[in-house]
Amino acid sequence: MDITSIDLNLLPVLDALLRQRSVTLASRELDMSQSAVSTALGRLRGALGDQLFVRTGHGMLPTPRASQLAEPVAAILDKVRDEVLSTRGFVPSESERAFTLGLSDVGSYVLWPHIVAAVSKQAPTVRLRLRVMSQPLIANALESAEVDVALGAYPDLPDTLYQRRLFERKYVAMVRSGHPLTGKRLSLQAFARCPQAVVRLASGIQDRIDEALAAQGLRREQVLEMPSYLMLPPLLDAGDHLAVIPGQLADAFARHGHFKMLKLPLELPASVIRMHWHKRFHEDDGNVWLRCVISSTFA
């Protein structure tokens, strides 16, 4: 039998009749008229090709076919009530749901430990996964649910994504302890002369530095290009290079090594760290909870 040929609204009627063994009692339970219940029973008999119930001196008794249907029909209705119609929301302390966060390498180093600690405090059985992602991959990953939430300074993501501003990050110059520039006011000329390790990312901050120097007739004389901020500490520690990096990352590096931060001799715009998510999950209870945890941690 094709499932589309039967009205699934008849299943609650069958369930009530199987339990009550009475059209009158079933109609009261369902808040239907007796004639409506009788009509529904007639339709069930036609659809299933069985009498289903027989009137006896002891009331309506189910046929073997009806008795066989009692347990699966009750299970189907329970599943619909519990999993389709239930309004019970996401319960962090009980959930074992897995969430995937998309972050840059800097976000993985600076933000990820705080997120893990905050989530674990409220939801010890929730599982977290980390994906290190570049800006071009984020929009599709959010739409396809490969990633639940993305965090970072991503200025060119599409407007179709929801976003929330978390905080600004300012840039500083970082050198090793004992560097010739430590303890001195960094001039623009000294900045340009100093060997530099440069990481060019989506923020475009290194291009802004080049433009600001060019406006003063200067350029960085020795530049070593690197693909990731996380590769900087061993290089800086081993020589006299300087690197312009986000302040929060410099703080984190300084906690794990002997580095000094210097105030830059030029004004740079702060990068804005935002949280991004797709409209498909804007009202999802779990996603809403995760966003609230992140917001309260960093905003």
Mean pLDDT of the chain: 92
**Tokens linked to 101:** 């966060």
pLDDT at 72 over 90: yes
Longest Cα–Cα distance of the chain, Å, equals 107
- Give the pLDDT mean for 196-212: 90
Residue-wise pLDDT for 154-194, tens only, equals 888 888 899 999 999 899 999 999 999 998 899 999 999 99
Instruction: Say which range, 42-46, 258-262, 269-273, has the weakest mean pLDDT.
Output: 269-273
Angstrom CA distances, 37 to 27, 48, 60, 110, 283, stand at: 6, 16, 14, 64, 38
| Distance from C-alpha of 166 to C-alpha of 275, rounded to nearest angstrom | 7
137 near 280, Cβ under 8 Å?
no
95 near 125, Cβ under 8 Å?
yes
The residue to which tokens 């290190």 are assigned: 132
- Give the pLDDT mean for 53-58: 87
| Distance from C-alpha of 73 to C-alpha of 266, rounded to nearest angstrom | 73
Residue-wise pLDDT for 116-157, tens only, equals 999 999 999 999 999 999 889 999 999 999 999 999 988 888
| Distance from C-alpha of 211 to C-alpha of 205, rounded to nearest angstrom | 10
**pTM confidence score:** 0.69
pLDDT at 44 over 90: yes
Angstrom CA distances, 5 to 2, 18, 67, stand at: 6, 22, 22
Show the DSSP H helices in the chain as ranges: 10-20, 23-30, 34-48, 64-79, 105-110, 112-122, 135-143, 188-193, 205-215, 232-238, 247-256, 285-298
Q: What is the pLDDT of residue 204?
A: 84
Q: What is the pLDDT of residue 169?
A: 87
Domains (ranges, CATH) in the chain? 3-84 (1.10.10.10), 98-168+272-298 (3.40.190.10), 171-269 (3.40.190.10)
The count of other CB atoms within 10 Å of the CB of residue 169 is 20
Q: What percent of the chain has pLDDT over 70?
A: 98
Q: How many residues comprise the chain?
A: 299
252 near 110, Cβ under 8 Å?
yes
pLDDT at 93 over 70: yes
Q: What is the pLDDT of residue 58?
A: 76
